[in-house]
Amino acid sequence: MIGIRSIWGVPSTQIEDYVNTMGVIAALLTTITFTAAFAVPGGLNQEKGTPLLIQDTCFQIFMISNILAMCLSMMVLFCLLWIMATGNRSNEVVLLDFSIILLMASFYTTLVTFMTGLYATTYLVKPWVAITGLVMCSLLLLLMQKYLVMKFIIPFRKVMLIYYDKPYQDGKKLCKRMVRHIQNRAWKSRTPRSELSISFVENHNSTKLNEDPIYTETHKDANF
Q: Any idea where the domains of the chain sit in the sequence? A: 12-144, 193-223
What is the average pLDDT across 132-141? 89
Residue 131 identity (one-letter amino acid): I
Percentage of the chain beyond pLDDT 70 is: 71
Q: Is the separation of the CB atoms in 108 and 144 below 8 Å? A: yes
pTM of the model: 0.64
Which residues, including other chains, have CB under 8 Å from residue 15's CB and lie 6 or more apart? 83, 92, 93, 96
Q: Are 70 and 37 in contact (CB under 8 A)?
A: yes
Report pLDDT for 158. Answer: 62
DSSP conformational letter for 65: H
- What sign for the dihedral angle of Cα 102, 103, 104, 105? positive
In the chain, the percentage of residues whose pLDDT exceeds 90 is 31
Tell me the C-alpha distance between 148 and 154, whole Å.
9
Sorting pLDDT into bands at 50, 70 and 90, what band is 21?
very high
Answer yes or no: is pLDDT of 102 > 80: yes
